[in-house]
Amino acid sequence: MKKVIKSGMKDVGVASLASTVALLGAVGEAAAQQSSALEEVIVTAERRAQSLQDVPISITSFSEELINEGGIISMEDVALRTPNFKMTAFNITEPQLYLRGIGSTNDSSGSDPAVAVFVDDVYLGRPSGASTDLYDLERIEVLRGPQGTLYGRNAAGGAINIFTKKPQQEFEAKIGLSAGNYSLGNLRAYINGPISENLAGKLTMNIRKRDGYAENINTGQELEDEDTKSVRGQLLFTPTDNVDVLLGFDYADIDTSGNNRYITNLEISDYPGVVAPLYPSYYERGVAANNLLGNDPRKSNHDDIQYSNKEILGFLGRVDVDLSWATFTSITAYRESESSWWQALNPQLSARLGGQGLQEVDDGADQEAEQFSQEFRLSGESDRLKWVAGLYYFSEEVQRFERFHTWWDPTSHLAILGDGVADFYQNSENDSFAVFGQATWNVTDSLALTLGARYTDDEKSIDNDTAAPVPNSSPVFASGVPLFSPPYSVSAEDSWSETTIRATVDYHFTDDHMIYATYSEGFKSGAFNGTQRYPELAAVPIEPELATNYEVGFKTQWLDDRLRINANYFDLDYENLQVWVLTNSVLEASNAQAASDGVEAEVAVVFGENLTITGAFATLDAKFTEGSNSGNDLPRAPETSWSLMADLGFPMANGASLDFLATVSYTDEFHFEVDNDPRGLQEDVTIWDASATYTSSGGNWDASVWGKNLSDELYSTHHIDGSYIGATRIFAPPRTYGVSVNYYWK
């Protein structure tokens, strides 16, 4: 039976950490007389293979086994099982990743994510690359906190590393079929093995289709459906014993009808101190719309035919050369993506319902992005010294067209404006160069000191053109702020450079008990706002982010490797956090100061031959410390989160096995908006997933039944507070279930 070992989390206060560790220790004592042991977890977080227990940073690692058996097929699944990692999504082309309350909601071509995603050590410049299908993987590593020394660019909040399985000289193949509710059909397959004595190859494919679990009752269009096709191929050439050459490509085509948005917070109680609705017509139409939908959050009502799709293509060339005194690594990568979407932002306020004023706002974008990256590394080690040094170059070009279409009630006094259309054309070029190095000196057999530094130089330019609404006259809000942008055309460029450092000391009391303390810094370059209202602001970038992290922790194994307890406390200060806020229907940018601190604890324990339990607990105190939102919680930063997973296996007399896997995860309430408007509060939620798998005696096939969100919880994955009234939400998938069958050749 499999020994799973994953999770990772946080907590605020040493008292919480102490009580958690005491509880975990008590659980471990119950396993003291058992015989099985936890398997070693190997990670490459410091650019070399190490045991998870020897790496003095906060990591959650998901093995191939857990990815497959835990039903982890997307980054959303990873986030659900990793407390203090939140993922929300405006749509499939624009995921929003948050670690320890640090992330970004901006979609401008002149900005970058705060949490970096890497696939096979290749940085993905556009966030849309983070929503790739997760199949045929070796492991996933989630690194929390600034990774400003060894990693590419913009890893100020943390890094997510995805590693695919590599070609091998032993033949292996698999085909899998899944079927489930909402007409789910999923075909997955791979073949891996030798082509010649020095050449191995691998080919992986995935086809997944599912009907929508939401509907636009006006057009009859199904929403929230899925149609994914992806393929990945690699060749591993080993001309000599000391040279490995890896060539690879990947392609994905994802096509959906887009998200269903449902308007909420229409009750008077949602607006404290307000006796009557501020905007009666909007309030009345919102209530009428929800009544028309039967108050069903899986339905919407608008005139649009929505779509959301993207294509991703990537090429990889990696060379590793053993020089005897060091290993030379070259990683060359090219990636491109195309995405296109159109959706209604306030779908219930359809013009068919009558009323005065704003009827509907639609939004869509077309984006093309190309990137090239090159990394050179040298790494080596001796009895007392382990080191890595390198050069990194990244170049990206992004073209983006975005349109906002605003409809007015024909009976309104604003109807003279006609349909309002605001277009934004963006063309950005982003270039980055870095030199980095890190060394670990084993002062004694027990004490080690790590020092690292990275110098980064980023340059960005943007051409930003807008078209005025039709006609050119621009109405104003009561505050005098124009409702639409005047036409303008601006070009701007800027550059930023920063040196970030890391210093860590770790001490091993024994081979199984280590403590560490670390200081680390992170940097994220400045950004341009691609949908700015005024030209003078569109030409001025917001400042780059700087993160400073202090962290102490320990990693331990007990009871002859049957119990693992890892925990850490961090204190993170953020200077010039880039904040994007929807103000009067326009996304505006600014900088803010923020801080977060907390404790992360995880445990794994084996009970006999049949039961493995893993758990993680965390709390987080993440707040703005200066400015208009000072004292407010950072968005997507729940104070408490935890998860618990039980893996129970029953070997059978005929050599077959039956395994049960159950996972429960809890996320405390959190705010979606920086102003902590109560309309943007997501209540706490508990999610249950489970599966049962039968594996044949020869191990050549298995069959499973599975279910996700078994209690059918209704919770938001994205949220927008309305400028007038109410809030629109995208809800997570409902209860899903199905069966899967896999056949293996070895």
Give tens-digit pLDDT for 54-98.
999 999 999 888 888 878 888 888 888 887 898 888 877 788 889
- Could you give the domains of the chain? 14-745 (2.40.170.20)
Of 142-151, 278-287, 307-316, 597-606, give the lowest mean pLDDT range.
278-287
pLDDT at 360: 66
Backbone angles phi, psi at 56, to 5 degrees: -85, 55
Say if residues 356 and 411 touch (Cβ distance below 8 Å).
Answer: yes
- What percent of the chain lies above the pLDDT cut of 70? 85
Of 419-433, 698-712, 725-739, give the lowest mean pLDDT range.
419-433
Where does the pLDDT of residue 271 fall: very low under 50, low under 70, confident under 90, or very high at 90 and above? low
Peptide bond into 482 cis (omega under 30): no
Looking at the predicted structure, is the pLDDT value of residue 268 above 70?
Answer: no
Looking at the predicted structure, is the pLDDT value of residue 501 above 90?
Answer: yes
pLDDT at 348: 56
Return the number of other C-beta atoms located less than 10 Å from residue 651's C-beta: 14
Write out pLDDT tens, residues 398-417.
Answer: 999 988 777 665 555 454 44
Of 202-211, 287-296, 395-404, give the lowest mean pLDDT range.
287-296
Q: Which residue has the higher pLDDT, 564 or 590?
A: 564
Residue 687 carries which side chain, given as an amino acid letter? I
Average pLDDT, the chain: 85
Looking at residues 192-197, what average pLDDT do you find? 95
Where does the pLDDT of residue 653 fall: very low under 50, low under 70, confident under 90, or very high at 90 and above? confident
Looking at the predicted structure, is the pLDDT value of residue 602 above 90?
Answer: yes
Q: What DSSP character marks residue 103?
A: E
pLDDT at 565: 96
Write out pLDDT tens, residues 419-460.
Answer: 567 788 999 999 999 999 999 999 999 999 999 999 999 999
pLDDT at 590: 84
- Spatial separation of the C-alpha atoms in residues 93 and 425, rounded to whole Å: 18
Q: What's the predicted TM-score (pTM) here?
A: 0.89
Q: Which residue has the higher pLDDT, 25 or 612?
A: 612
Strand-pair category, 299-300 with 214-216? parallel
Q: What DSSP character marks residue 487?
A: P
Return the number of other C-beta atoms located less than 10 Å from residue 291's C-beta: 9
pLDDT at 721: 80
pLDDT at 406: 72
Counting beta carbons within 10 angstroms of the beta carbon of residue 320, is it exposed (0 to 12), middle (13 to 18) or buried (19 or more)? middle
Tokens representing 283? 């309030």
Looking at the predicted structure, is the pLDDT value of residue 568 above 60?
Answer: yes
pLDDT at 197: 92
Looking at the predicted structure, is the pLDDT value of residue 351 above 80?
Answer: no
Of 31-45, 296-310, 495-509, 603-617, give the lowest mean pLDDT range.
31-45
Looking at residues 178-199, what average pLDDT do you find? 96
Where does the pLDDT of residue 11 fall: very low under 50, low under 70, confident under 90, or very high at 90 and above? very low
pLDDT at 263: 84
Looking at the predicted structure, is the pLDDT value of residue 9 above 50?
Answer: no
